[in-house]
Amino acid sequence: MSFFTRRTIIAGASASAAATLAGCVGTNPSPSLNAAAIATEPPPSPANSALADAVSPQYSSIYAEIKDGAFTVPGVEYSRVDPAFLRQNVSYDSREAPGTIVIDPANHYLYHVEGGGRATRYGVGVGRDGFRWAGEATIKSKQEWPDWYPPPEMLERRPDLHPGNNKEVVELQSGVGMHGGPRNPLGARAMYLWQGNKDTYFRIHGTNEPFTIGLSQSSGCIRMINQDAMDLYQKTPIGTRVVVLGSPGAIAVKDTRV
């Protein structure tokens, strides 16, 4: 069986499907990669669940400006984001181990499973037509304020991203790219998804375009509001399991290790 990565998905995508800027370069899968793959477990007691759901998040604090080392994460105009995609702690029945990340591209949600029938739910941006995928992966590395390396396919169709045409795109250690910072498409944090010893070239990362959350515009990476990416980053260790559920048109990205 072929091993599909973000590179092979991009290579097979039509030119029309690759027209907009993407935010990134690029365990055995479940037999069923859809909503049914998340099995149920005993729900929390109604009293505790109702109490938790009654707490109104303080979004003015959650999405406020953050000083982060040499950079500043701007405050989010969260009124421009559909309230359904703002961070919430929600009821979530799952047999996945606490700490597991479950991504539901069809509904533009990422769940950080907490156990006891609860999860933190974040709104995300996901792959557009031709760049949707499903499968399982592991977070092999993480980086604060990561450099961004546009893939060769993007450089071919975007002459404005060549050094000399764009003052922010330069020759970096690993190729043509952009230094980490507030204007970088990967945002404040990135988590790199691998299957065994193979890089899928998919990432979970922040974005400097929070208004794209809840949309399908990326080249397969999972975009988050920077403040949400930072929140998830600090509670997600290396080795965390990530499950991406199936969605219409998704390509199965499978680990083919024997």
- The distance of Cα 109 from the centroid of its chain, to the nearest Å, equals 9
Buried b (16+ CB within 10 A) or exposed e, 39-77: eeeeebeeeebeebeeeeeebeeebeeeeeeeeebeebe
Please report, for the domain that includes residue 62, its CATH number: 2.40.440.10
In total, how many domains does the chain have? 1
One pLDDT digit (tens) per residue for the chain, 258 residues: 344 555 555 555 544 343 333 346 633 333 333 333 333 334 444 455 555 565 678 999 999 999 999 999 999 998 888 999 999 999 999 999 999 999 999 999 999 999 899 999 999 999 777 677 889 999 999 999 999 888 777 778 888 887 878 888 888 888 888 899 999 999 999 999 999 999 988 899 999 899 999 998 887 789 999 999 999 999 999 999 999 998 877 788 776 543
Please give the Cα distance from 145 to 127 (Å, whole number): 22
Prediction pTM value? 0.79
d(CA 150, CA 152): 7
Residue 114 included in any domain: yes
Instruction: Give the closest residue to 176 by CA, choosing from 205, 160, 155.
Output: 155
1 located within any domain: no
- In 53-129 the beta strands, taken as DSSP E runs, fall at 66-68, 71-73, 88-91, 101-104, 109-115, 118-123, 126-127
| CA–CA dist 161, 4 (Å, integer) | 26
Q: How far is CA 34 from the centre of its chain?
A: 18
Is 55 within the bounds of a domain? yes
DSSP 8: H
Distances (CA, A) of 198 to 116, 137, 157, 195: 33, 10, 26, 5
Check residue 255 and give its pLDDT. 61
Phi, psi of 101 (to 5 degrees): -105, 125
Question: For residue 150, is it within any domain?
Answer: yes
Instruction: For 122-180, give the DSSP string.
Output: EE-BEE-TT--EEEEEEEEEEEES--B---HHHHHH-GGGSTTT-TTEEEETTEEEE-S
CB 225 within 8 A of CB 63: yes
The pLDDT score that the predictor gives to residue 214 is: 93
Contact 187, 205 (CB under 8 A): yes
Domain span at residue 25 reads 6-253
Domain membership of residue 159 (yes or no) is yes
In a domain, 110, yes or no: yes
Q: Name residue, tokens 């599909």.
A: 4
Is residue 258 situated within a structural domain?
A: no
In a domain, residue 89? The reply is yes
